[in-house]
Amino acid sequence: MSKRLDYWKIAPEATRRMAAINGYLKESAIEASLRHLVWLRTSQINGCAYCVDLHASEALQDGERIERINCLVAWQETTLFTPKERAALAWTEALTNIAMSHALEEDYALVREQFSDEDLVDLTLMIASMNAWNRMAIAFRRQPGMR
């Protein structure tokens, strides 16, 4: 697949503002390790090769263990993730697949047990913003390694 257009160059103000949301999220109370898992899992679900590569690389640079990255796609089948991470990953899947799940009550109840009101808003924005980035990268065929 060849790259279609460079949205960073064509719409720099729009992408700068999207990036500002990520800046806010990086300063939120949600720890970097969880943020990496959420962004990576969202990108896996959406099939965004660029974002999978980017967020797996960033997670490794920040000290994430390779076995957790490798097993993220099958997180329900392993004990590698904490209850808080499992709740966030369930919420990530529910919101990324929202047309199918409509954010089920059981997923909401699980995430409510682990996150404060403010953190839940931030987590939800984290998932929503990554879905937007995935759609931009997929639509315009941004390729892994393009930084």
pLDDT at residue number 14: 96
| The predicted structure's pLDDT at residue 68 | 98
The token pair that represents 51 in the structure block:
């974002």
Per-residue model confidence (pLDDT) at position 70: 97
Phi, psi of 117, deg, nearest 5: -55, -50
Q: Where are the domains of the chain?
A: 7-139
Which residue stretches of the chain are H helix? Answer: 7-10, 12-26, 32-46, 49-61, 66-71, 83-96, 98-101, 105-114, 117-139
What's residue 98's pLDDT? 94
pLDDT given at position 134: 97
pLDDT in tens, the chain (147 residues): 777 899 999 999 999 999 999 999 999 999 999 999 999 999 999 999 999 999 999 999 999 999 999 999 999 999 999 999 999 999 999 999 999 989 999 999 999 999 999 999 999 999 999 999 999 999 999 889 766
Q: In a 3-state reduction of DSSP, which class is residue 9?
A: helix
**CA dihedral (68, 70, 73, 74) positive or negative:** negative
Model pLDDT, residue 147: 62
Q: Six-digit token pair at 21?
A: 């949301």
Amino acid 53: pLDDT: 96
* pLDDT at residue number 4: 84
Which residue carries 């980035």 as its tokens? 133
Domain 7-139's class?
Answer: mainly alpha
Q: Which amino acid is at 7?
A: Y
